[in-house]
A and B are shown apart, each in its own frame.
Chain A
């Protein structure tokens, strides 16, 4: 199965990178921009199927390693499970 983990800065945490990218988008003529947030996508491919146990394990890995809950949110998309 394939898993995409999306990690984004928390809504209430300053995202200096997002602010800078937003400024660049505006300077290129983008109108009406309200907010820009820069995150990252982590793609995993692994053997085995989806299950509640696997979801729990994935959730823990996201909290412990792939994201830092102090500053980031995450969500996962699983396909081919």
Chain B
């Protein structure tokens, strides 16, 4: 399985995301510049964290119109896997590939801490059995306050689209939501950084479990490797 990590002007977790999949999971991983119009032989697209286009206008608002995003949309519509981390989550929401939006933290502070997260039962691919009941992952964002209208929120709950909730809500997110998936279950977005917790010197190694769970939707065998 092949991983493509997108790079926008202003991405700054592209190297981290690359290392998570290349060294943390040992998978063939490549970078794809945002000006590209095609994804070559890709099973998972990772939209990394950072400040794409300087977060001008709104976080992710300009990045969603980058040439590569057309290919990402087609990939997602074909059922291909997509993972947005932090700014990547914001970009996927702006692009309409995930519901809702992320606004300024209620504290107005940029929060840079390691969070305890409760793993939700979000269906076959992402649940407490594949990830564990709790994970610990770093966050670093000023706009992680998840917002959606009442009807949309109920849809997320009923369809079990919520992946992770903060144990101690750092940003004012509705129902402490830290990560969600789309209804079909192939597009994932989260504010916490699995790409900042997979090395020995990181605060945890839970990023590997989270990344494996995302891939397990299409590649169930990857979970066996984690047991080994």
Contacts and interface: CB of A to CB of B under 8 A. Distances in A.
A68 B95 CA distance: 10
A20 B103 contact: no
A68 B104 contact: no
B147 A16 contact: no
Interface size class of B (residues with CB under 8 A): 20 to 34
B106 A14 contact: yes
A20 B106 CA distance: 9
B106 A70 contact: no
B57 interface: yes
A1 B103 CA distance: 32
A17 B103 CA distance: 10
A14 B172 CA distance: 10
Contacts of B45: none
B103 A16 contact: yes
Contacts of B105: 16
Nearest to A13: B147
Interface residues of A, number: 12
Q: Most chain-B Cβ atoms within 10 A of its Cβ — which of A17, A66, A71?
A: A71
A63 to B, nearest CB: 11
B222 interface: no
Contacts of B58: 68
A46 interface: no
A56 interface: no
B108 interface: yes
A53 B149 CA distance: 31
A72 to B, nearest CB: 8
B177 to A, nearest CB: 14
B147 A14 contact: yes
Nearest to A17: B104
Given A65-B65, A66-B57, A16 B172 contact: yes
Given A16-B105, A16-B106, A68 B145 contact: no
Given A14-B103, A66-B57, 16 more contacts: A9-B103, A12-B149, A13-B147, A16-B104, A16-B107, A20-B108, A65-B57, A65-B61, A65-B65, A68-B61, A68-B94, A68-B101, A70-B101, A70-B148, A71-B101, A71-B147
